[in-house]
Amino acid sequence: MKRILFVASECVPFVKTGGLADVVGSLPKAFDPEEYDIRVMLPNYFAIKEEYRCNTECIYYFQLDDRKYVGINRLIKDGITYYFIDNMQYFDGLVPYYDLFKDLERFAFFSKACLSALPLIGFRPDIIHCHDWQASLVPVFLNTQFQGNPFYRGIRTIMTIHNLRFQGTWNVGHIRHITNLPEECFQPGRLVSPFQNTSIRKDDWNCSMLRGGIVYSDYVTTVSYTYAQEIQTTNYGEGLDDILRFRKDRLWGIINGIDYTEWNPQTDRNLAKNYTVRGIKGGKRANKVALQKELGLAENPDVMTIGLVSRLTDQKGLDLVDKIMDRLCQMDINMIILGTGARNYEDMFRYYQNKYPAKVSANIRYSDALAHRIYGGCDALLVPSAFEPCGLTQLIALRYGTVPIVHETGGLKDTVKPYNQYEQTGTGFSFYGYSDWELMDRINHAYWVYNETPDQWMKLCQRGMKEDWSWKSSSQIYKQLYDRL
């Protein structure tokens, strides 16, 4: 039996702000429980749904460092054991994240508490699989402060980067203060870049927690093959391309999957009508009309309906969308937006909804149920991200027979095959150069295919539905990596 511990800041169904939660929630279930004992460790946020918080059991508590309380709560769900690190000072909030300055201390505490809890719960993992910067100090603590204890010797670590832009970066002085890590960790090339300005005080050097995780872990993975290549370049490396190039022999790109039980148009209770590959035409039309009615749009199953389900940030290519919205709304389409984020983009979509109320529906909120209905009722999904480590929305769209229109970057490039009308291949539409006219060109092409060759559009939808983007294949690659370690 191989023992794996996932350490992460969020996980479905307990708490979610993005795709990280989906991965941490679904990947452990893809392994054979007879061969792998995979457990998950999370912060015990007050924001966790009450139905789960009330059912956790406190199995141990202790004090860490300068008498900080650590509680360990446990919940077993769907065959997976979840541990929740409890401390009201750090996690008693209505949201999982605050500002970065506070979050640095919270997740430094969380990383150290996770390691400290292991002997007390009687679980010694062979591998600790850490996700994003919030868990990136686990390999650092493990290979420094905890190496004096024989219990921890020989535990291997994997650092998975879900989005390199978020690194947990502050100055050396502050991170030294909140972690109490040995001075060796703050030498150039470890938690700090080797290219430091030596004319300023060392305490003022930039220090990245994620860099530490990359340096001290045994292997580094990211969530698509293309993104693994991109982040070794200056354009995409976010200041860490030097260490990623140095560790390229230990850097794996493994595409994400989605939970095919959760995302299944044949059984999805959120849909007005369930459907399969064979019944996609009638199913999509029925769901489109129901969605139009729900959102106050003109009810017409023949109008091409484009969805956008996303965090509303610069990364997601919304600057391009802003430039073409007026042109889009001159076409015979509906545009449905769901998400929250930067105020300027929230207001942008509200503006276009007010300007084109019969065509645009701006839902500036989080709603999992509405997301399901958008995937089921829309004809196409817009994902024009400037960069995208993997992306899950395009995978879900393919599962529901909704055609993705994407920028060729990261996981979008790896998962969406460009439509070729002559060979009758492909699963979506993609553009290479990051510009509004290229995006508009691809939307125009999709619009033409949808209206002028509806039979070919249906075949395009069916090809997407027939592809398998579950965790079946990706979990086998993770299995190879676990076995190697």
| pLDDT tens per residue, range 260-271 | 999 999 999 999
**Residues 411, 377: one domain?**
yes
329 in any annotated domain: yes
**Which pLDDT score is estimated for 66?**
81
Give CA 404 to chain center in angstroms: 18
136 in any annotated domain: yes
Residue 477 host element (H or E): helix 471-484
**Which pLDDT score is estimated for 353?**
97
**Which pLDDT score is estimated for 49?**
86
Sort strands 304-309 and 251-253 into parallel, antiparallel or unpaired: unpaired
**Residues 149, 218: one domain?**
yes
User: Residue 213 corresponds to which tokens in the numbers above?
Assistant: 């995780």
- Domain enclosing residue 175, as ranges: 2-257+472-484
Q: What backbone phi and psi angles, to 5 degrees, belong to 433?
A: -75, 140
268 in any annotated domain: no
**Residues 424, 446: one domain?**
yes
- Characterize 424-439 residue by residue with b for buried, 16 or more Cβ atoms within 10 angstroms of its Cβ, and e for exposed: eebbbbbbeebebebb
Question: Which residues of the chain have a pLDDT value below 70?
Answer: none
**Residues 377, 438: one domain?**
yes
**Residues 118, 149: one domain?**
yes
Sort strands 251-253 and 429-431 into parallel, antiparallel or unpaired: unpaired
Q: How many CB atoms lie within 10 A of CB 103?
A: 18
CATH number of the domain to which 370 belongs: 3.40.50.2000
358 in any annotated domain: yes
pLDDT above 70 as % of the chain: 100
142 in any annotated domain: yes
d(CA 264, CA 266): 5
d(CA 31, CA 139): 23
Residue 267 host element (H or E): none
**Residues 456, 480: one domain?**
no
d(CA 162, CA 27): 14
Tell if the pTM clears 0.85, that is, is over it.
Answer: yes
**Which pLDDT score is estimated for 196?**
85
243 in any annotated domain: yes
d(CA 451, CA 367): 30
Number of domains comprising the chain: 2
**Which pLDDT score is estimated for 444?**
98
Residues in the chain: 485
Hey, is 27 helix, strand or coil? Answer: helix
**What are the beta bridge partners of residue 208?**
169
For the chain, the maximum distance between any two Cα atoms, rounded to a whole number of angstroms, is: 70
